[in-house]
Structure formats: structure tokens, C-alpha cells
Amino acid sequence: MGFLLFALLDVLLSVYLILQSRYHQCFYLVRQDYLSGGNIVEIDKENLEKAISTALLWLNDCDAGEYNKCWENGSKYFKNTVTQEDLNKALIGVRTPLGKVELREQKSTDYTINLPGAPDGEYVVIKYAASFENKKTSVKTITPMKEKDGTWKISGYFIK
């Protein structure tokens, strides 16, 4: 067993714990990072719900063509990375041709404290299966980031 753990030192393991009771469900997302010595990083239900809610509001604005609102609701990191004009151009070029959203279904959430190429912080990477009027199968990935003031703002968005 020890050898197996040693062999997996370079692997990040995401573990989803679902706690269910007769009266309600609580979802806790835990990420085990073997590279950081096996420290468990956890997000509480309230922050997870805030991150998901922020993502959904942002996606609704994006799907409605409200690209200026998307930039306004971006994280400080996001705004320092892309100008409002560049975001508008990118979304008009990529999102607008897809047409109306026909389906958006959450597929996964992954809480992490570090992402490649981004500053350390608290992130929730959320993936949605999506279907559009002009593209039947796609995956939307949106990443809320917790700001220093405790609010969640969007730090990244991708469509595949």
C-alpha cells in the first residue's frame, strides 16, 4: 500500500463526498493533493453554493449576449487578463454563432487552491454538458474564484 501511495505522488486525486440524510442532502467537495503532503482542502456547502450560483448568473448573462455584464462580473484576475473589449470580441466570435442554449446540465465540480497559470487562491472548476441551437454537443467549463472580500467572481470560461 505504501508503495502505491509513493507511486501516486505526482497524481492529484479529486474526491467527492456526498453526505445524504433522510431530510436533506449536503454536498462536500474535497480535494486530496498528494504533492502537498496529503493535505485535504475542503469547501463548505455555503461557499460551494455561492460559487455555483455565481457561475449560473454569469452563464445566463453570456447566453443572453450580455457580454459587458460578463466582464463586470469577472474576478480581478480575469479583468487584469482580458480587457472588456477583447472579451466582447471573443464572445461575439465564439458564443454568438452557437445560438440559443437548448440544454445546460452540470456534470462536475472540482474545488482547488491552485490552477496552472493562475495565482493561488480558491477556485471551483464547474463543467456543464451543453447543447445549442447550432451545436448539439459541447462542454462549458467555468471557474469562479473567491475574491479577497469573500465574494465569488468568474476567472475563466471555455467552450469545447
Number of H helices, E strands in the chain: 5, 7
More confident residue, 115 or 128: 128
Evaluate whether residue 94 is within a structural domain: yes
Place of cell 455561492: 50
- Domain of 77? 45-159
Strand partners, 108: 127
User: Within a domain: residue 5?
Assistant: no
Question: For the residues of 94-147, what is the DSSP string, one character each?
Answer: HTGGG-SEEEEEEEEEEEES--TTS-SS-EEEEEEEEEETTEEEEEEEEEEEE-
Q: Tell me whether residue 33 is in a domain.
A: no
Best mean pLDDT range from 21-35, 38-52, 60-74? 60-74
Give the lowest-confidence range in 44-48, 115-119, 121-125, 153-157: 115-119
Q: Is 18 helix (H, G, I), strand (E, B) or coil?
A: strand
Reduced to 3 states (helix: H, G, I; strand: E, B; else coil), residue 9 is coil
Q: How far apart are CA 62 and CA 81, in angstroms?
A: 18
Residue 95 domain-assigned (yes or no):
yes
- Residue 157 pLDDT class (50, 70, 90 cuts): very high
Q: Is residue 36 part of a domain?
A: no
pLDDT tens digits, one per residue of 15-35: 222 222 222 233 333 333 433
Q: Would residue 133 count as lying in a domain?
A: yes
Q: For residue 41, what pLDDT band results from cuts at 50, 70 and 90?
A: low
Rounded Cα gap, residues 151 and 155, in angstroms:
12
Domain membership flag for residue 79:
yes
What is the rounded CA–CA span in Å between residue 148 and residue 146?
A: 7
CATH code for the domain of 118: 3.10.450.100
The stretch 123-128 carries a mean pLDDT of 96
pLDDT of residue 42: 75
Q: pTM of the prediction?
A: 0.73
The domain tally of the chain equals 1
Cα–Cα dist 114/111, whole Å: 9
Looking at the predicted structure, is the pLDDT value of residue 4 above 70? no
Is the distance from CB of 127 to CB of 107 less than 8 angstroms? yes
Cell numbers given for 60: 445566463
Backbone Cα Rg of the chain = 17
**What backbone torsions phi and psi does residue 129 show, to the nearest 5 degrees?**
-80, 135
Would 143 be classed as within a structural domain?
A: yes
Give the pLDDT confidence score for residue 116 in this predicted structure.
86
